[in-house]
Amino acid sequence: MAEKLLEVRSLTTGFAAGQGLVKAAEGVTISIDRGQTICLVGESGSGKSVTSLSIMRLVEFAGGMISEGSIRLGGEELTTKSQKEMSRIRGNKMAMIFQEPMSALNPVFSVGEQIAESIRLHQRTNAAEARRRAVDMLRLVGIPDPHIRAKQYPHELSGGMCQRVVIAIALACSPDLLIADEPTTALDVTVQAQILDLLRSLQRDLGMSILLITHDMGVAAQMADRIAVMYAGVIVEDGPAQDLFEHPAHPYTMGLLRSVPSMDGEREESLYTIPGTVPSLHQLPQGCRFHPRCQSAMARCAVESPPLEGVGPDHKTACWLYDNSAGSKEVLSK
């Protein structure tokens, strides 16, 4: 049995709005084994970043609040930790990289100094040793001539190189878990592929787990051992990547897969888009949150919210289509 590194259970995170709390992630349950990559996918606004910031306990700094649930990293409960304890955990056990490489770097320090600073923050070393290790880190993330590059400033490096530097900074603490929130979206396609290759090889060599957030099913197909699909703040499907691609259960997942350009490079006539848009958190539909956009919606979908339940070994979905207990399966006319 693979060892679980991260176990998130029934996590709910909200933002204060008027009298109440607007829930941007609700009842989220995901887990990651050691050495595994899980991709969290879903359209813009579905709650992917809020979920990842909650796991890091950084959501509080963005005005969010974890109101329910549990987050365990290596068996340790994170929701009850103080921010002081969390900053130690963030420095030693988990790290996060964001979409915009440039904004994550400080323009007035050389990239070598920034990596060395991160090393000194996490490990007991003197300045000279940290500088030497920073050069090693640049080499590790595939930057040529690391001695020269270490002395350069972010504006002297390409976007792809800056993202490699950001990854080096994240890896300086040898995290067990790396959370990467759309790490390649700002980069062009070739560089994107190189960064994904880098993450894969670092994972293989360092044995860390990766939670990769993307809205791109193509990226998920290349990278994921497991995929969790999020829609309007809830997980609607979760399963082993291959199984989910071959047998998607949730109509939303089917829609996401139809909107990916074909993998064999053939050009499609016109790319499918799921009709409608993600609902506002202030006006969530009753019942299944996806039902207003769902081609297979039935009467009960507009009333009752479906639980996340098994449809195959280790594969779950939240959809009434797979519930045989009661009710008519007649599709609602639209």
Binding region for ligand ATP (CB under 6 A): 15, 24, 42, 44-50, 62-63, 215, 281
Q: What does 141 interact with, of Mg ion, ligand ATP, none (CB < 5 to 8 A by kind)? A: none
Q: What does 172 interact with, of ligand ATP, Mg ion, none (CB < 5 to 8 A by kind)? A: none
| From 42-50, 122-130, 264-272, 281-289, span contacting Mg ion (CB under 5 A) | 42-50
Q: Which DSSP letter does residue 112 get?
A: H
* 49 binds Mg ion, rule: CB under 5 A: yes
Question: How near is the Cβ of 240 to ligand ATP at its closest, in Å?
Answer: 22
Q: Is 92 helix (H, G, I), strand (E, B) or coil?
A: helix
- Whether the CB-CB separation of 226 and 241 falls below 8 Å is answered with yes
User: How many residues does this entry show for the chain?
Assistant: 334
Taking the C-alpha atoms of residue 201 and residue 204, their distance in angstroms, rounded to an integer, is 5
In terms of CB distance, is 41 or 73 closer to Mg ion? Answer: 41
Backbone angles phi, psi at 118, to 5 degrees: -65, -40
In terms of CB distance, is 49 or 222 closer to Mg ion? Answer: 49
Q: Which DSSP letter does residue 123 get?
A: S
In terms of CB distance, is 102 or 311 closer to ligand ATP? Answer: 102
In terms of CB distance, is 119 or 256 closer to ligand ATP? Answer: 256
* 184 binds Mg ion, rule: CB under 5 A: no
In terms of CB distance, is 62 or 263 closer to ligand ATP? Answer: 62
Residue 182 corresponds to which tokens in the numbers above?
């759309």
Q: What does 313 interact with, of Mg ion, ligand ATP, none (CB < 5 to 8 A by kind)? A: none
- H-assigned helices in 93-238: 101-104, 111-122, 127-140, 146-150, 159-171, 189-206, 217-223
* 54 binds Mg ion, rule: CB under 5 A: no
- Whether the CB-CB separation of 95 and 173 falls below 8 Å is answered with yes
Q: Which residues bind Mg ion (CB under 5 A)?
A: 49
